[in-house]
Chain A
Amino acid sequence: MSNDDIVIEFRNVSFIVPGGKTLLAGLNLAVRRGETLVLLGRSGSGKTTTMKLINRLIDPTAGEVRVEDKRTLDWDPIRLRRRIGYVIQEIGLFPHLSVEENIGVVPRLDGWPAERIRERARVLLKMVGLDADRFAARMPRELSGGQRQRVGVARALAADPPFILLDEPFGALDPITRREIQREFKTLQRELGKTMVFVTHDIAEAFLLANRVALLKDGEMVLLGPAEELLSSQDPEARAFAEGYSGPQSAGIPS
């Protein structure tokens, strides 16, 4: 693996909140161009913290995070974030903006002309499987959970950023909608070929979407590798997750 392929890198990164609790301890991790790395773990294992370190919503208390071979501390945070699409659970849509306006936020910040933003929004809505004529003018509260999440993905893709961070994007959906949208996302992923960091506590989701999985426990990475390694690992945390997974079939996904 050549160095050029590493686009996001954690070097000995720790994050300790001012109160003294350690959320992340000595993380070493490299994300390759075009891959989808899934951060797997229970609540409080440090997944979201890891993600927020990438787009500088927080800064490491020790070690360094590098994006495109440049320390995040040396990045202008605004420029850095504009290069990174960000999807969080459905509440992340701005409730006072219509679907189209939500998708257009970053292009508007980047100063695109209004007509181009409109067009882009329509293209993206179509890409995530929503009828632009019906949905563009709706407000987020008029959408179902699945529709909201699709809009969230479209919004993250709006300015065509090279990176996408997804923080449990499908966590709040009912199981059926969830499988549906996961499948669609998988297709999208293949078409776009973007570098993605995907946070989840759902091992089936990890199996479906991940090129590699990083398993976190109490702020430390206990395993890094293809999803299958989870099943063969002797690590107790890996085994705990593996027990909850009985193959793609049970999740209703044809392999």
Chain B
Amino acid sequence: MTLREFLTRNGGELLGLTFEHLVLVLVSTGIAILIGVPLGILLTRKPGLSKPVLGFANIMQTVPSLALFGFLIPLNIYLFNVKVLGGIGARTAIVALVLYSLLPIIRNTFTGISSVDPAIRDAGRGMGMTDRQLLFQVELPLAMGVIIAGVRVATVICVGTATIAAAIDAGGLGRYIFRGLRANDNLLILAGALPAALIAIGADLALGFLERRIQFGGAFKAKSKKFLGPVAAVILAVLCAAYFFAAGDGKRIAVGSKDFTEQVILGEILAQAIEAKTDLQVERRFDLGGNLAHEALVAGEVDVYAEYTGTALLSILQDKPLKDPQEVYRRVAAEYGKRFDLVWTEPLGFNNTFAILVRGEDAQKMNLKTVSDAARVSAQWRAGFGQDFMSRADGYPGFARTYGFHFQEIREMDLSLTYRALAEKQVDLIAGNSTDGLISRYGLTQLVDDRKYFPPYDAVPVARQATLAKYPELRAILQQLGGILTVDEMRKLNYAVDGEKRQPKDVARGFLIEKRILDGSGAER
């Protein structure tokens, strides 16, 4: 796809995301100024506070953003009945962005005011200015250049960090970047990164200009100052209010997904099935990074998303690996019910685990069905494995021991390259992802893990107990979706998005029509 095609097809969406991004940055920087400047002023009046406050702001800047999101999402803090902290979405993103941009603003306000020549301060006091008059008529105007330099740094940080906000469903240009990274689509990455970079450069230039104007040309002229302050305050207040009050109630349900293609497709399948079969309004909170989907589910920000049994067992419950799929399912279902009030519903039918793959022609020629079959004939084989597989607890060493593999050579490469390497006969066996679309694309054969070495990663919609109780119709739909997807079908859907560049929502819709859950006329209920 050329850039021009991309723009004609997605121009509207790009504009929307750019606008979301701008609003995130504007609101966050605005709030950071409203907090940071007074705090910086306070520090000049109470120097004892400067160490702890600046120290705190310093530490906030070093916290990795995903970790900060992970910490903020479970919070549940209300102010006058409006949730001000916690959950996924723009609210939490803004809180995080504010924390990131505070340091340069506080520091520069403090430094700017402290570095006003003491003789000038004495002149002001000696002329009979009160502390307030000294602050507003002398110190702040003189420090304004330095303060704006701080705002400038904060804004640029904000523009960059706001791209990560897409990981918690806060929108913005990060959506394109994450989607592009996932689909290995450089055009999409650029479509997100380029406007973000332009915003950063634009903000930097504009504030840099303002900074120089103020340093060389004296303070604002009285008229524009009187006008500017209230206008900026009103705009900020409206934007804030819009963000904090945006989510009204009513019969709504939030469907979540993690941040890779398969998850987005599954999210769409769940969302569209619910939209078709009930009168619930579905909110899509997709692309949640790391374990944020789980945390959002626990926090009640998401009502249902598809989780994998193995991930739940190992990474969320931090339990010991188990091999038997039924046992894993029983265990996570019981623990989730006990600990989180969450319900594991019907498995969708496929297992997304490591897949030991060989070329289809080899499998046929040598009659290979299971991994054990391959182990017997593999003495002359070369294998290609991703770094992840080589290093994980449930990866290569145990695998080779269990099946008695001795390869002639092992080539370590990026997982996404192993498929092509196998197809082009550079290697003879790889450990891929069982639902990867490239498996069908290259005509590869997955060998049965006959010794059950790999833990099961069955995909299962997990829902909040409270939501299921409130909307019994949801339970019925999830039952209907049970067993609907084979590994093969999942591969095809993934390939339709990653390989054929089709939209996840169209792919999901096609699938649901094929399965007669949607009737395709566009008027289902």
The residues of A with any CB-CB pair to B shorter than 8 Å are: 52, 55, 57, 77-82, 84, 86, 88-89, 91-98, 105-106, 109, 139, 155, 165
Q: Please, which residues of chain B bring their CB within 8 A of the CB of A93?
A: 123
Q: Which residue of B lies closest to A152 (CB)?
A: B123
Q: Please, which residues of chain A bring their CB within 8 A of the CB of B138?
A: 94, 96
If over half of B's interface residues share one DSSP class (helix, strand or loop), that class is named, otherwise mixed; here it is helix
13 inter-chain pairs at a CB distance below 8 angstroms, sorted by A residue, are: A78-B129, A78-B130, A81-B125, A81-B126, A84-B128, A88-B119, A91-B117, A91-B120, A92-B119, A95-B142, A97-B218, A105-B129, A109-B129
Q: Please, which residues of chain B bring their CB within 8 A of the CB of A82?
A: 127-128
Q: How far is the CA of A46 from the CA of B138 in the complex (A)?
A: 28
Q: How far is the CA of A92 from the CA of B126 in the complex (A)?
A: 10
Q: Which residue of A lies closest to B119 (CB)?
A: A91
Q: Which residue of B lies closest to A80 (CB)?
A: B128
Instruction: State the Cβ distance, B78 to closest chain A Cβ, in Å.
Output: 43
Instruction: State the Cβ distance, A215 to closest chain B Cβ, in Å.
Output: 24
Q: Is B218 a contact of A139 with CB atoms below 8 Å?
A: yes
Give me the 5 closest cross-chain CB pairs, A-B, nearest first.
A81-B128, A86-B126, A92-B123, A82-B128, A96-B218
Q: Which residue of B lies closest to A79 (CB)?
A: B128
Q: Is A106 a contact of B128 with CB atoms below 8 Å?
A: yes
The reply to whether the CB of B325 lies closer than 8 angstroms to some CB of chain A is no
The reply to whether the CB of B219 lies closer than 8 angstroms to some CB of chain A is yes
Q: Is A96 a contact of B125 with CB atoms below 8 Å?
A: no
Q: Is B133 a contact of A109 with CB atoms below 8 Å?
A: yes
Q: Is B123 a contact of A57 with CB atoms below 8 Å?
A: no
Q: Is B119 a contact of A96 with CB atoms below 8 Å?
A: no
Q: Is B130 a contact of A55 with CB atoms below 8 Å?
A: no
| Known contacts A96-B219, A109-B133; A78/B128 CB under 8 A | yes
Given A52-B126, A86-B123, A96-B138, 10 new contacts (CB under 8 A) = A55-B126, A57-B125, A78-B129, A78-B130, A82-B128, A84-B126, A92-B120, A94-B142, A106-B128, A109-B128
Instruction: State the Cβ distance, A168 to closest chain B Cβ, in Å.
Output: 11
The reply to whether the CB of B141 lies closer than 8 angstroms to some CB of chain A is yes
Q: Which residue of A lies closest to B142 (CB)?
A: A96
Partner of A94, one of B122, B124, B128, B130: B124
Q: How far is the CA of A93 from the CA of B141 in the complex (A)?
A: 14
Q: Please, which residues of chain B bring their CB within 8 A of the CB of A52?
A: 122, 126
Q: How far is the CA of A93 from the CA of B117 in the complex (A)?
A: 11
| Known contacts A91-B119, A92-B120, A97-B218; A106/B127 CB under 8 A | yes
| Known contacts A94-B138, A95-B142, A96-B142; A88/B126 CB under 8 A | yes
Q: How far is the CA of A109 from the CA of B141 in the complex (A)?
A: 17
